[in-house]
Copies of this chain bind each other. A is one copy, B any other.
């Protein structure tokens, strides 16, 4: 019965090509070796035979010895190997090698504590150093963006990939550890009928081959036009009605032609929806807790510490991809984790303070702040960086007229504007990246959501030419017989049977990763970024 266990042990060990778990030299990763060598006590690997599979980051050939830096993507720090000139003859930057030798302590004064005295090295994938685009010296982010498939081989991008992986895992822990059984992770659809935000900047799908022919409705693979999702919120509400509290991390798509470091056409959105949720404070409290808890878990992880300790461009000659030289990331994280409760300010108060800043403090904006005009990025930056000294801030209760149809009205006492004019929503602003998350209570009452849809022009006229159209009255008492909910009927349906007060939020996952990493452009935080005019590789 246990045959498979032995088999798997062998097979899985062979992943790293050491034929059995007990074979010598032991195949290890650079992170394991370097970590073991950093402890105060004597290194357990000292004088042991070890083996590493990795890429040559640099090689320096001298008369009597050659020195190579090996990296296997497990840590930013390279492993130092010392070789005889003959062993190093075929080595060049970028080459993939299997290298084994004895892990020797270095004499004091050397930069590293240990080095690998090479016994054997095999080049399994050669590299032409003359053409290899990745170099040890600083390379501009613009240049590296043109070769995303190789950019991943820079130490900083490699670290970012491991950091993202840790975030993905810790997110699962964050949501599981919430009270009362935690949140359920769901996978809502990517192909959808509706444009959640109503902005119309969506990608349309066609089954391949249909592009150049004339398209009619009947050509559509799904019988009617379908789009790539811009948000999973509507579907999360369907899940939350049954499951209570749900979350998802899914790709979303926006066909925006904006050319900013804050926007991508494809990005990951972290969304959550909570049923039986009655007030906006509970929702902002959830967001605050979630992000603090995530940051704390990342802080406690080795890769988090590696990110915080890494030398940045400008501090060393090494390429980093981060353009935040001198930034104190550790302070940024500490403020998130342990700082005082994040500020809440209503939209109306924010506008008043912005106007006051213009009138009394000489602040100047390209767009003068007005209550009807919403917040531009310049306003958001002023709110978070000047008015709140760089602390995270929730701006709540925006005008109904500039927000989507599904938001619930502001609650009495939490709205300092005319009743009915604002909705129970928030945007979370962080320094530098500005808006990183947004959410709201949802209108959960059937007559009210239908009235909202009517006001927002989302209800169509039922084609009276269609005599087969079923009468709408039995199912939808709040509709006139000529009104048609179209592709949003299922969403209204959710309010028809057992709809409790609920709310949720969406967080730009890549933007938040950028904030934690000190990377100011999302184009450098996503390995293969897609934006207007660019989808290389």
**Which chain A residues have a beta carbon within 8 Å of chain B's beta carbons?**
1, 3-4, 7-8, 10-17, 27-29, 31-32, 53, 55-56, 72-74, 94-96, 98, 124-128, 131-132, 134, 147-150, 152-153, 157-158, 161-162, 164-165, 168-169, 172, 176, 178-181, 184-193, 200-212, 215, 221-223, 225-228, 235, 238-239, 241-245, 250-251, 253, 255, 257, 265-266, 268, 274-279, 281-282, 284-286, 288-289, 292, 338-342, 444, 474-475, 490-491, 493-501, 526-528, 530, 532-537
Contacts and interface: CB of A to CB of B under 8 A. Distances in A.
Contacts of A124: 276, 500-501
A203 B208 contact: yes
Contacts of A204: 205-208, 210-211
B223 A533 contact: yes
A235 B537 CA distance: 8
Nearest to A167: B185
Given A53-B275, A206-B204, A341-B3, A239 B150 contact: no
A405 to B, nearest CB: 17
How many monomers of this protein are in the complex?
2
Contacts of A495: 125
Contact of A4 (B184, B205, B221, B341): B341
A12 B178 contact: yes
A161 B124 CA distance: 45
Contact of A181 (B32, B205, B211, B288): B32
Contacts of A341: 3-4, 7
21 contacts: A14-B278, A15-B245, A15-B282, A16-B179, A17-B278, A74-B243, A96-B241, A96-B500, A125-B497, A149-B238, A158-B242, A191-B253, A200-B209, A203-B206, A204-B206, A221-B265, A222-B535, A223-B533, A226-B535, A238-B527, A239-B527
